[in-house]
Structure 1
Protein backbone atom coordinates (compact mmCIF):
# COMPACT_ATOMS: atom_id res chain seq x y z
CA UNK A 1 0.00 0.00 0.00
CA UNK A 2 1.51 3.29 -0.99
CA UNK A 3 1.63 6.49 1.05
CA UNK A 4 -1.28 8.19 -0.75
CA UNK A 5 -3.66 5.33 -0.10
CA UNK A 6 -2.73 5.24 3.60
CA UNK A 7 -3.17 8.93 3.83
CA UNK A 8 -6.56 8.71 2.15
CA UNK A 9 -7.77 6.03 4.58
CA UNK A 10 -6.63 8.06 7.61
CA UNK A 11 -8.48 11.10 6.34
CA UNK A 12 -11.65 9.03 5.75
CA UNK A 13 -11.38 7.64 9.27
CA UNK A 14 -11.04 11.13 10.73
CA UNK A 15 -14.12 12.34 8.83
CA UNK A 16 -16.08 9.33 9.98
CA UNK A 17 -15.11 9.98 13.62
CA UNK A 18 -16.00 13.65 13.27
CA UNK A 19 -19.43 12.73 11.86
CA UNK A 20 -19.91 10.28 14.70
CA UNK A 21 -18.84 12.89 17.26
CA UNK A 22 -21.26 15.40 15.78
CA UNK A 23 -24.12 12.90 15.86
CA UNK A 24 -23.35 12.10 19.51
CA UNK A 25 -23.19 15.81 20.30
CA UNK A 26 -26.60 16.36 18.66
CA UNK A 27 -28.08 13.49 20.68
CA UNK A 28 -26.55 14.85 23.87
CA UNK A 29 -27.91 18.33 23.11
CA UNK A 30 -31.39 16.96 22.50
CA UNK A 31 -31.26 14.94 25.68
CA UNK A 32 -29.81 17.79 27.69
CA UNK A 33 -32.72 20.17 26.91
CA UNK A 34 -35.45 18.35 28.85
CA UNK A 35 -32.85 17.42 31.38
CA UNK A 36 -32.13 21.08 32.05
CA UNK A 37 -35.79 21.84 32.58
CA UNK A 38 -36.09 18.93 34.94
CA UNK A 39 -32.93 20.02 36.72
CA UNK A 40 -34.36 23.50 37.15
CA UNK A 41 -37.37 22.03 38.99
CA UNK A 42 -35.34 19.67 41.13
CA UNK A 43 -32.52 22.08 41.74
CA UNK A 44 -31.86 22.22 45.55
CA UNK A 45 -31.50 25.98 45.55
CA UNK A 46 -34.83 26.33 43.74
CA UNK A 47 -36.52 23.97 46.18
CA UNK A 48 -35.21 25.97 49.15
CA UNK A 49 -36.47 29.19 47.62
CA UNK A 50 -39.83 27.56 46.91
CA UNK A 51 -40.12 26.39 50.49
CA UNK A 52 -39.35 29.90 51.69
CA UNK A 53 -41.94 31.45 49.43
CA UNK A 54 -44.74 28.91 49.91
CA UNK A 55 -45.52 29.62 53.63
CA UNK A 56 -45.44 33.38 53.07
CA UNK A 57 -48.04 33.04 50.32
CA UNK A 58 -50.19 30.90 52.56
CA UNK A 59 -49.87 33.53 55.30
CA UNK A 60 -50.79 36.25 52.82
CA UNK A 61 -53.81 34.24 51.72
CA UNK A 62 -54.83 33.75 55.35
CA UNK A 63 -54.44 37.47 56.02
CA UNK A 64 -56.48 38.34 52.95
CA UNK A 65 -59.20 35.90 53.99
CA UNK A 66 -59.20 37.36 57.51
CA UNK A 67 -59.40 40.92 56.20
CA UNK A 68 -62.22 40.03 53.83
CA UNK A 69 -64.08 38.38 56.72
CA UNK A 70 -63.59 41.39 58.96
CA UNK A 71 -64.56 43.84 56.26
CA UNK A 72 -67.60 41.89 55.18
CA UNK A 73 -70.68 43.27 56.96
CA UNK A 74 -72.32 41.09 59.60
CA UNK A 75 -75.41 39.30 58.48
CA UNK A 76 -78.49 41.12 59.59
CA UNK A 77 -80.90 39.05 61.69
CA UNK A 78 -83.81 37.71 59.79
CA UNK A 79 -86.97 39.66 60.22
CA UNK A 80 -89.69 37.72 62.02
CA UNK A 81 -92.29 36.19 59.80
CA UNK A 82 -95.82 37.55 59.67
CA UNK A 83 -96.98 34.49 61.57
CA UNK A 84 -94.42 35.08 64.33
CA UNK A 85 -95.30 38.78 64.56
CA UNK A 86 -98.98 37.91 64.78
CA UNK A 87 -98.27 35.38 67.55
CA UNK A 88 -96.20 37.88 69.56
CA UNK A 89 -98.86 40.54 69.16
CA UNK A 90 -101.50 38.12 70.47
CA UNK A 91 -99.30 37.21 73.45
CA UNK A 92 -98.82 40.89 74.32
CA UNK A 93 -102.53 41.48 74.05
CA UNK A 94 -103.29 38.53 76.37
CA UNK A 95 -100.70 39.75 78.89
CA UNK A 96 -102.18 43.25 78.82
CA UNK A 97 -105.65 41.86 79.30
CA UNK A 98 -104.50 39.79 82.30
CA UNK A 99 -102.83 42.81 83.88
CA UNK A 100 -105.89 44.95 83.21
CA UNK A 101 -108.17 42.30 84.72
CA UNK A 102 -105.91 42.03 87.78
CA UNK A 103 -105.96 45.79 88.36
CA UNK A 104 -109.71 45.92 87.82
CA UNK A 105 -110.31 43.09 90.31
CA UNK A 106 -108.10 44.80 92.90
CA UNK A 107 -109.92 48.10 92.46
CA UNK A 108 -113.34 46.44 92.81
CA UNK A 109 -112.23 44.63 95.98
CA UNK A 110 -110.91 47.87 97.52
CA UNK A 111 -114.14 49.67 96.61
CA UNK A 112 -116.12 46.77 98.14
CA UNK A 113 -114.26 46.86 101.46
CA UNK A 114 -114.28 50.67 101.57
CA UNK A 115 -118.06 50.75 101.12
CA UNK A 116 -118.44 48.18 103.91
CA UNK A 117 -116.54 50.51 106.23
CA UNK A 118 -117.70 53.96 105.17
CA UNK A 119 -120.99 53.52 103.27
CA UNK A 120 -122.80 50.44 104.53
CA UNK A 121 -126.08 51.70 103.14
CA UNK A 122 -124.63 51.30 99.64
CA UNK A 123 -122.75 48.09 100.43
CA UNK A 124 -123.96 44.58 99.69
CA UNK A 125 -122.30 41.24 100.25
CA UNK A 126 -120.38 39.88 97.26
CA UNK A 127 -118.85 36.45 97.65
CA UNK A 128 -116.40 36.89 94.76
CA UNK A 129 -114.97 40.06 96.34
CA UNK A 130 -114.57 38.32 99.68
CA UNK A 131 -112.77 35.36 98.07
CA UNK A 132 -110.45 37.73 96.21
CA UNK A 133 -109.61 39.53 99.46
CA UNK A 134 -108.91 36.22 101.22
CA UNK A 135 -106.50 35.22 98.44
CA UNK A 136 -104.64 38.56 98.43
CA UNK A 137 -104.65 39.67 102.08
CA UNK A 138 -100.93 38.98 102.46
CA UNK A 139 -99.97 40.86 99.27
CA UNK A 140 -99.28 44.48 100.16
CA UNK A 141 -99.35 45.43 96.47
CA UNK A 142 -102.90 44.12 96.01
CA UNK A 143 -104.12 45.18 99.45
CA UNK A 144 -102.22 48.36 100.41
CA UNK A 145 -101.26 49.08 104.02
CA UNK A 146 -103.91 51.81 104.09
CA UNK A 147 -106.65 49.25 103.31
CA UNK A 148 -105.34 46.28 105.33
CA UNK A 149 -106.69 47.46 108.72
CA UNK A 150 -110.18 47.75 107.17
CA UNK A 151 -109.88 44.24 105.68
CA UNK A 152 -108.72 42.95 109.07
CA UNK A 153 -111.77 44.46 110.72
CA UNK A 154 -114.01 43.00 108.00
CA UNK A 155 -112.75 39.44 108.56
CA UNK A 156 -113.09 39.63 112.34
CA UNK A 157 -116.74 38.76 111.84
CA UNK A 158 -116.30 35.92 109.31
CA UNK A 159 -117.56 32.50 110.33
CA UNK A 160 -118.04 29.01 108.97
CA UNK A 161 -116.12 27.81 105.92
CA UNK A 162 -114.61 31.25 105.19
CA UNK A 163 -113.04 31.33 108.65
CA UNK A 164 -111.67 27.79 108.35
CA UNK A 165 -110.05 28.49 105.01
CA UNK A 166 -108.54 31.73 106.25
CA UNK A 167 -107.15 30.13 109.43
CA UNK A 168 -105.64 27.25 107.45
CA UNK A 169 -103.92 29.57 105.02
CA UNK A 170 -102.51 31.87 107.69
CA UNK A 171 -101.30 28.92 109.80
CA UNK A 172 -99.36 27.56 106.81
CA UNK A 173 -97.54 30.87 106.42
CA UNK A 174 -96.69 31.13 110.14
CA UNK A 175 -95.57 27.49 110.33
CA UNK A 176 -93.26 27.89 107.34
CA UNK A 177 -91.51 30.87 108.92
CA UNK A 178 -91.17 29.13 112.29
CA UNK A 179 -89.55 26.14 110.56
CA UNK A 180 -87.05 28.47 108.93
CA UNK A 181 -86.21 29.96 112.32
CA UNK A 182 -85.77 26.45 113.77
CA UNK A 183 -83.25 25.74 110.97
CA UNK A 184 -80.94 28.39 112.49
CA UNK A 185 -81.86 31.06 109.98
CA UNK A 186 -81.94 34.72 110.96
CA UNK A 187 -85.03 35.00 113.18
CA UNK A 188 -85.30 38.76 112.81
CA UNK A 189 -85.22 38.60 109.02
CA UNK A 190 -87.63 35.66 108.79
CA UNK A 191 -90.24 37.14 111.13
CA UNK A 192 -90.03 40.67 109.71
CA UNK A 193 -91.60 39.83 106.38
CA UNK A 194 -94.88 41.48 105.46
CA UNK A 195 -96.57 38.13 104.89
CA UNK A 196 -95.63 36.77 108.32
CA UNK A 197 -96.68 39.91 110.17
CA UNK A 198 -100.03 40.08 108.39
CA UNK A 199 -100.69 36.36 108.92
CA UNK A 200 -100.13 36.74 112.68
CA UNK A 201 -102.44 39.77 112.81
CA UNK A 202 -105.20 37.94 110.94
CA UNK A 203 -104.97 34.89 113.21
CA UNK A 204 -105.23 37.14 116.26
CA UNK A 205 -108.21 39.02 114.79
CA UNK A 206 -110.23 35.95 113.77
CA UNK A 207 -112.90 34.87 116.26
CA UNK A 208 -112.31 31.68 118.18
CA UNK A 209 -114.85 28.95 117.59
CA UNK A 210 -117.12 28.07 120.50
Structure 2
Protein backbone atom coordinates (compact mmCIF):
# COMPACT_ATOMS: atom_id res chain seq x y z
CA UNK A 1 0.00 0.00 0.00
CA UNK A 2 1.05 3.59 -0.57
CA UNK A 3 0.57 6.20 2.11
CA UNK A 4 0.86 9.83 1.01
CA UNK A 5 2.00 12.01 2.57
CA UNK A 6 4.46 9.67 4.23
CA UNK A 7 3.36 8.44 7.65
CA UNK A 8 5.61 6.51 9.97
CA UNK A 9 3.90 3.62 11.70
CA UNK A 10 5.06 2.47 15.12
CA UNK A 11 6.46 -1.01 14.47
CA UNK A 12 5.76 -1.99 18.08
CA UNK A 13 2.02 -1.77 17.33
CA UNK A 14 -0.06 -4.42 15.60
CA UNK A 15 -3.36 -5.13 13.87
CA UNK A 16 -5.51 -8.22 13.43
CA UNK A 17 -5.63 -9.51 9.86
CA UNK A 18 -8.94 -10.44 8.23
CA UNK A 19 -6.98 -12.64 5.82
CA UNK A 20 -7.46 -12.47 2.07
CA UNK A 21 -9.81 -15.37 1.32
CA UNK A 22 -12.33 -12.70 0.32
CA UNK A 23 -10.21 -12.25 -2.83
CA UNK A 24 -11.55 -15.63 -4.01
CA UNK A 25 -14.93 -13.90 -4.50
CA UNK A 26 -16.01 -13.24 -8.07
CA UNK A 27 -14.67 -10.02 -9.53
CA UNK A 28 -17.73 -7.70 -9.67
CA UNK A 29 -16.52 -6.29 -13.00
CA UNK A 30 -15.24 -9.50 -14.57
CA UNK A 31 -17.58 -12.46 -14.19
CA UNK A 32 -16.15 -15.95 -13.71
CA UNK A 33 -12.84 -14.58 -12.41
CA UNK A 34 -11.83 -14.09 -8.78
CA UNK A 35 -10.83 -10.68 -7.44
CA UNK A 36 -7.32 -11.88 -6.64
CA UNK A 37 -5.00 -14.69 -7.60
CA UNK A 38 -3.71 -17.46 -5.33
CA UNK A 39 -0.40 -15.59 -5.36
CA UNK A 40 -2.13 -12.40 -4.12
CA UNK A 41 -3.87 -14.34 -1.36
CA UNK A 42 -0.61 -16.06 -0.42
CA UNK A 43 0.99 -12.68 0.34
CA UNK A 44 -1.51 -12.14 3.17
CA UNK A 45 -1.53 -13.32 6.76
CA UNK A 46 -4.19 -15.74 7.99
CA UNK A 47 -7.51 -14.44 9.31
CA UNK A 48 -7.25 -13.61 13.01
CA UNK A 49 -3.45 -13.43 13.00
CA UNK A 50 -1.99 -10.48 14.92
CA UNK A 51 0.46 -8.70 12.61
CA UNK A 52 3.12 -6.05 13.25
CA UNK A 53 2.42 -2.70 11.58
CA UNK A 54 5.75 -3.16 9.81
CA UNK A 55 3.98 -5.79 7.69
CA UNK A 56 0.84 -3.70 7.11
CA UNK A 57 -1.14 -4.82 4.05
CA UNK A 58 -4.36 -2.92 3.21
CA UNK A 59 -5.80 -6.10 1.64
CA UNK A 60 -5.98 -7.52 5.17
CA UNK A 61 -8.29 -4.76 6.41
CA UNK A 62 -12.09 -4.87 6.25
CA UNK A 63 -12.39 -1.41 4.66
CA UNK A 64 -10.40 -2.53 1.61
CA UNK A 65 -12.36 -5.78 1.33
CA UNK A 66 -15.69 -3.91 1.49
CA UNK A 67 -14.59 -1.45 -1.19
CA UNK A 68 -13.29 -4.19 -3.49
CA UNK A 69 -16.51 -6.18 -3.20
CA UNK A 70 -18.63 -3.06 -3.88
CA UNK A 71 -16.84 -0.97 -6.53
CA UNK A 72 -18.38 1.97 -8.31
CA UNK A 73 -19.25 3.93 -5.21
CA UNK A 74 -17.43 5.98 -2.61
CA UNK A 75 -17.35 4.35 0.82
CA UNK A 76 -17.49 6.18 4.14
CA UNK A 77 -16.00 4.37 7.14
CA UNK A 78 -16.31 5.51 10.73
CA UNK A 79 -16.05 7.45 12.87
CA UNK A 80 -13.61 5.08 14.52
CA UNK A 81 -10.61 5.32 16.83
CA UNK A 82 -7.40 5.21 14.80
CA UNK A 83 -5.37 2.09 15.52
CA UNK A 84 -2.06 3.92 15.05
CA UNK A 85 -2.71 6.97 17.25
CA UNK A 86 -3.53 7.75 20.85
CA UNK A 87 -7.28 8.47 20.94
CA UNK A 88 -7.75 10.03 17.50
CA UNK A 89 -11.22 9.75 15.95
CA UNK A 90 -11.22 9.47 12.16
CA UNK A 91 -13.67 9.12 9.33
CA UNK A 92 -12.31 7.59 6.14
CA UNK A 93 -13.45 8.04 2.57
CA UNK A 94 -12.31 5.72 -0.18
CA UNK A 95 -13.01 3.61 -3.22
CA UNK A 96 -11.76 0.43 -4.86
CA UNK A 97 -9.50 0.84 -7.89
CA UNK A 98 -10.03 -1.50 -10.84
CA UNK A 99 -7.99 -1.30 -14.04
CA UNK A 100 -10.15 0.44 -16.67
CA UNK A 101 -8.80 -1.71 -19.47
CA UNK A 102 -8.61 -5.17 -17.88
CA UNK A 103 -11.19 -4.75 -15.06
CA UNK A 104 -8.73 -6.40 -12.67
CA UNK A 105 -8.58 -5.27 -9.04
CA UNK A 106 -5.58 -3.05 -8.31
CA UNK A 107 -6.13 -1.78 -4.77
CA UNK A 108 -8.05 0.74 -2.68
CA UNK A 109 -7.75 4.46 -2.11
CA UNK A 110 -8.43 5.83 1.35
CA UNK A 111 -8.36 9.31 2.82
CA UNK A 112 -8.58 9.80 6.58
CA UNK A 113 -10.16 12.93 8.02
CA UNK A 114 -9.78 13.81 11.69
CA UNK A 115 -13.06 14.38 13.53
CA UNK A 116 -11.29 17.18 15.43
CA UNK A 117 -10.63 19.00 12.14
CA UNK A 118 -14.30 18.66 11.16
CA UNK A 119 -15.36 20.04 14.54
CA UNK A 120 -12.97 22.98 14.04
CA UNK A 121 -14.64 23.65 10.67
CA UNK A 122 -18.11 23.51 12.27
CA UNK A 123 -17.02 26.19 14.77
CA UNK A 124 -16.38 28.56 11.85
CA UNK A 125 -19.93 28.24 10.49
CA UNK A 126 -22.09 31.23 11.41
CA UNK A 127 -25.52 30.26 12.72
CA UNK A 128 -28.20 31.87 14.84
CA UNK A 129 -27.58 32.24 18.57
CA UNK A 130 -29.74 29.22 19.41
CA UNK A 131 -28.68 27.10 16.43
CA UNK A 132 -26.44 24.07 16.63
CA UNK A 133 -24.77 22.14 13.80
CA UNK A 134 -24.31 18.39 14.01
CA UNK A 135 -22.79 16.42 11.13
CA UNK A 136 -24.53 13.04 10.88
CA UNK A 137 -23.57 9.97 8.88
CA UNK A 138 -26.27 8.80 6.48
CA UNK A 139 -26.50 5.31 7.99
CA UNK A 140 -29.35 3.43 9.67
CA UNK A 141 -28.50 4.72 13.15
CA UNK A 142 -27.78 8.38 12.45
CA UNK A 143 -24.22 8.11 13.73
CA UNK A 144 -22.79 11.49 14.69
CA UNK A 145 -19.61 12.32 12.81
CA UNK A 146 -18.99 15.70 14.41
CA UNK A 147 -20.80 18.01 16.79
CA UNK A 148 -19.80 20.86 19.06
CA UNK A 149 -21.62 18.97 21.83
CA UNK A 150 -19.84 15.62 21.28
CA UNK A 151 -16.54 15.58 23.13
CA UNK A 152 -14.56 13.26 20.87
CA UNK A 153 -11.43 13.76 23.02
CA UNK A 154 -13.16 12.02 25.94
CA UNK A 155 -15.44 9.62 24.00
CA UNK A 156 -14.61 5.94 23.70
CA UNK A 157 -17.56 5.11 21.45
CA UNK A 158 -19.65 6.82 18.81
CA UNK A 159 -22.98 8.42 19.56
CA UNK A 160 -26.16 8.85 17.54
CA UNK A 161 -28.33 11.79 16.54
CA UNK A 162 -30.99 10.91 19.16
CA UNK A 163 -28.57 11.36 22.10
CA UNK A 164 -30.31 14.01 24.29
CA UNK A 165 -26.93 15.44 25.38
CA UNK A 166 -26.37 16.69 21.82
CA UNK A 167 -29.48 18.85 21.86
CA UNK A 168 -30.55 17.98 18.30
CA UNK A 169 -34.18 17.49 19.30
CA UNK A 170 -34.37 14.45 17.02
CA UNK A 171 -35.47 10.94 17.88
CA UNK A 172 -34.30 7.92 15.90
CA UNK A 173 -37.79 7.85 14.32
CA UNK A 174 -37.39 11.49 13.24
CA UNK A 175 -34.05 10.69 11.63
CA UNK A 176 -35.52 7.69 9.79
CA UNK A 177 -38.43 9.85 8.60
CA UNK A 178 -36.14 12.54 7.16
CA UNK A 179 -33.82 9.95 5.66
CA UNK A 180 -36.71 8.32 3.80
CA UNK A 181 -38.43 11.56 2.78
CA UNK A 182 -36.89 11.47 -0.70
CA UNK A 183 -34.29 9.39 -2.50
CA UNK A 184 -31.16 11.27 -1.46
CA UNK A 185 -29.02 8.89 -3.55
CA UNK A 186 -30.38 10.51 -6.70
CA UNK A 187 -30.15 14.20 -7.65
CA UNK A 188 -32.56 16.32 -5.59
CA UNK A 189 -33.45 19.96 -5.06
CA UNK A 190 -33.96 21.58 -1.65
CA UNK A 191 -37.31 23.01 -2.73
CA UNK A 192 -38.55 19.51 -3.66
CA UNK A 193 -37.63 18.19 -0.21
CA UNK A 194 -39.30 21.19 1.43
CA UNK A 195 -42.49 20.64 -0.60
CA UNK A 196 -42.53 16.93 0.25
CA UNK A 197 -42.05 17.73 3.96
CA UNK A 198 -44.92 20.25 3.95
CA UNK A 199 -47.27 17.83 2.16
CA UNK A 200 -46.94 15.12 4.83
Question: Aligning the two structures, in what range does the TM-score lie when normalised by the shorter sequence?
Answer: under 0.3
Normalised TM-score (structure 2): 0.19
Relative to its length, the structure with more helix (as a share) is 1
Relative to its length, the structure with more strand (as a share) is 2
Choose 1 or 2 for highest CA Rg: 1
